[in-house]
């Protein structure tokens, strides 16, 4: 059984969706550790309620790499195979990325490479995009730049606010993050240059 490490900074709804699919046996892995850089993150409290190993690792006053060394140590201690960033609002240092080469996933609430960075849903709305969505990608040393594993598209409606659009996107996030995790765990993702090529699977094999 492979081990997942989940990193979050806030609400943790993506973490919860992953945890539900793990509990239902739809993701063939165990959540070995949940780490937050914010003590008050609701996702951290939720992880504790679920009886998972949940660690607050404070980032205040620490340089990026020093902080990442602490997080990497916690992930290694938990023997994590795949790291999932789930609303973890920090940029990872090259040290972190080299510790888990091609073994870190991130979810971003836009169709990358459109609207990277913060407030992606607001960016899409203000730009006037007619469609947006979400992207699960492998983390490399750039910001929101690594090979794309899964994407889902949603329409942007005329009466959308950033909040209503974010809610529509979030539903898809919860669906495709688990899919991408399964593909990675089952070694179905092959990287060729920028492209993450997926070995076809039988319908119904993944959530």
Residues near ligand GAR (CB under 6 A) are 8, 10-14, 43, 86-87, 107-109, 120, 170, 173
The question of whether 137 is a catalytic residue gets the answer no
Q: Which is nearer to ligand GAR, 71 or 192 (CB)?
A: 71
Nearest residue by C-beta to ligand GAR? 87
Planar angle of CA 120, 121, 125, nearest 5 degrees: 115
Please pick, among 108, 137, 168, 174, the residue that the annotation labels catalytic. Answer: 108
Which CB atom, from 133 or from 182, has the smaller least distance to ligand GAR?
133
Q: Report, in Å, the least distance between residue 176 CB and ligand GAR.
A: 11
Q: At its nearest, how many Å lie between ligand GAR and the CB of residue 199? A: 26
Q: Three-state SS for 172?
A: helix
Give the nearer residue to ligand GAR in terms of CB position, either 76 or 113.
113
String of b and e for 182-197 (b: at least 16 CB within 10 Å)?
A: bbbbeebbeeeeeebe
- Tell the smallest beta-carbon distance from residue 204 to ligand GAR (Å): 26
What angle (nearest 5°) sits at the alpha carbon of residue 78, between those of residues 72 and 83?
A: 55
Instruction: Mention every residue, 6+ apart, whose C-beta is less than 8 A from residue 112.
Output: 135, 137, 144, 145, 148, 151
Q: What SS3 state is found at 32?
A: strand
Active site residues: 108
């Amino acid at each position: 059984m492979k081990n997942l490490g989940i990193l979050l900074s806030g609400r943790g709804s993506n973490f919860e969706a992953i945890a539900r699919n793990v509990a239902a046996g739809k993701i063939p892995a165990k959540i070995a550790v949940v780490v937050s850089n914010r003590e008050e993150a609701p996702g951290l409290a939720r992880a504790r309620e679920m009886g998972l190993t949940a660690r607050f690792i404070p980032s205040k006053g620490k340089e990026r790499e020093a902080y990442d060394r602490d997080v990497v140590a916690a992930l290694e201690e938990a023997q994590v195979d795949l790291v999932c960033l789930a609303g973890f609002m920090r940029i990872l240092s090259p040290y972190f990325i080299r510790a888990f080469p091609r073994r870190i996933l991130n979810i971003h609430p836009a169709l990358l490479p459109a609207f990277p960075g913060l407030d992606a849903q607001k960016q899409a709305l203000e730009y006037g995009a007619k469609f947006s969505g979400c992207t699960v990608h492998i983390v490399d040393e750039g910001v929101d730049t690594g090979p794309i594993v899964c994407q889902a598209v949603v329409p942007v409606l005329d009466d959308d606010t950033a909040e209503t659009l974010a809610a529509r996107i979030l539903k898809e996030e919860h669906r495709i993050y688990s899919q991408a995790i399964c593909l990675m765990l089952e070694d179905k993702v092959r990287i060729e240059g920028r492209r993450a090529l997926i070995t076809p699977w039988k319908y119904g094999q993944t959530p």
